Amino acid sequence: MVVGFIRRRIWRKMAIALSLIALVLAFSGIILSGRNPDPREAWVIAGAIIGALLGASAALKFLVLDPLAELTQVMERAQGGEFLIRAKVRSADEIGQLANSFNIMLARVTDLAATHIDSEVEKEWMQRKLELQEQLAAGREELADRVRELSLLIDVTQAISSSLDLQAVLSQVTEKIGIALGFDEFTLLLYDYENREYAVTETFGMKDEMREQVESLRFSEEEGLIGVMHESRRTVYVPNTRDEPRYLHYKGRRSDDGSVLVVPMIHRGEPVGGLAFNRPVVGAFTSNEIRLLETVATQAALAIINARLYQQTLELSITDPLTGLFNRRELERQLDMEITRSARFHQPFTVVMIDIDHFKKYNDTHGHPMGDRVLIEVARTLKEHVRSVDTLARYGGEEFTVVLPRIDRDRAPEVAEKLRAAVEERIFPNEGTQPLGKITLSIGVASYPHDAASWRDLLDHADIALYNAKDAGRNKWMRYEPGMRAAS
């Protein structure tokens, strides 16, 4: 119990040590004060004093200084980050209490550090979870885009593979791309190998007046962005049309700002045509969209080539051997397709019936070879003055028929007059012997749906208008009107 009392306080330990030293000194003084000591006794007393001092110092070092040094070392290591270290508690004195308190503090710091580590781990896990959720959302969106693109590609492929008729293929490609991708307007161009130029064949999203103007355009191999596409055989993308001087925009109606994309249709390295897209926004085409359109263009090129090959094999059976125009059977097939398409899209079209005035007299006077020459020249003249989308056919004998898609009743007379004037202005051999002094045409016009609901009635009404033009003096056109006298 006395030992415990002493161990619990440092000052008690120091007081005992000093008391022992004082006791030794006092005892030695008593001995020396009474008599003259023997030198050996003096050495013994001095040794005792020195021993007492050394013993007290050793006791102080063991009991105070060493525990303090050890605790200081532990504190320094803890300061360096070793929170798991602990101080030894050697006694119940102040140093032992300090060591114990320090150990308790380290334990709490360790708990806080562990809690902090857990919090950081949880925070990092939550951050990673959010990143994964964002990546998953982006992946789902990208997958949805790929599915939409694949669906469009399948639709386009099925549409363009459903027919071997060139015009039907072109119309299907234009419709599918325009509607599925949401384009305001774009054009499809076909390459003309004979004239080495690109002709606008189909348009999407344009009003009638603008469409007719654009569908008459042709671009040479070196002209504008079409020329760049033709030379490189690669897609041409201009994010900002303001910075591109070669951008022609239908040769006149130029947009100040916007994007243009020209995608070639290539088959086995040879040009088939191109798809030209415009958007009134800078940088409006994404890389995925461009890649999709390039794939569509490749499929379209293959479909166009197949349709052309099929068309070539049919030409012997569907064309007139003398003029090279469609024959009557093919005309009726084209009319059947046109009336179906026009009814579906609620679009008008017009039939023009043409007859060469007094052709029998010319044949009888100059012979059939000269008559055939006139037929060939008239056919060539008419072909030069119709659009690529129009159908020109030899109906029989000296009669020709033109089918004009998307031309309504009000605009039909303009086309009829253009054809009549073109033949009247042309010089034919021996035409001075004709009753009118020239080779001339009489023309009848009828339009769907105003004048008839079927192509057979449309042909019949155009024919009635034609013979009324003849009765009225020839070398003129007439538009069908109800009540016209039918031809005998």
Q: Supply φ then ψ for residue 270, to 5 degrees.
A: -105, 145
Best CA proximity match to 353, nearest among 477, 214, 485, 175: 477
For residue 304, CA distances in Å to 183, 226, 265, 270, 309 come to 22, 19, 9, 13, 9
What distance in Å separates the CA atoms of residue 311 and residue 135, rounded to the nearest whole number? 51
CA 77 to CA 305: how far, in whole Å? 84
User: Is 41 one of the annotated active-site residues of the chain?
Assistant: no
Vertex 285 angle, CA 282 and 288, to 5°: 155
Q: Which amino acid is at 189?
A: L
Q: What are phi and psi of 206, to 5 degrees?
A: -110, 150
Query: Considering 231, 398, 399, 424, which one is annotated as catalytic?
Result: 398
Q: Give the Cα separation of 91 and 100 in Å (integer).
A: 10
Query: Which positions are annotated as active-site residues?
Result: 398
